[in-house]
Homo-oligomer: A and B are copies of this chain.
C-alpha cells in the first residue's frame, strides 16, 4: 500500500491552524484502520493533543471524562500509529487513518472496533429490517 491510497487524489493541503474547534476547544477525530478501512472509534482532540499527535506519530486525545491528555494505548499498549490526518470541508471534524500496534484491537472491551452496538440494520433486498427500540 502506498500513501497515495490514504488520501483522496484531489486533496488540498490545509494548515493546522485553520481548524475549527468547538466551544470547549475540541474537534472530533474519526479513527480509521488504514489497512482494513474499518472505523475504530471517535475521540476528541484539542489543539495540544493534535500537536502531540503530529509530533509523536501516535494518536493523542483529550479525554472529556477524565479532563486530561490521553495517549491512546498508554495503558494497553494498543497505540495508534498515524498514517494521515484530514479535515472535512468545514474543517470541524478530523479523519485520522492509523495502523494498530500491540494486540491490534482498538476498544477497551477487547473488541477490534468500538462500534459493536448494533442499533439498526436495513433489510436485505425485499426483506424486513432489524429494528430495536
Contact = CB atoms under 8 A, between A and B. Distances in A.
Nearest to A88: B114
B37 A38 contact: yes
Q: For the side of the interface on A, what is the size category?
A: 35 or more
Given A14-B132, A15-B133, A91 B120 contact: no
Contacts of A13: 117-119, 130, 132
A88 B115 contact: yes
B114 A83 contact: no
A21 B108 CA distance: 21
B119 A87 contact: yes
B85 A119 contact: yes
A18 B120 contact: no
Interface string A72-96: 0000000001111111111101110
A106 to B, nearest CB: 10
A96 to B, nearest CB: 9
Interface of A: 2-3, 6-8, 10-19, 28, 30, 32, 36-39, 41-42, 54, 57, 81-91, 93-95, 107-109, 111-122, 124, 129-133
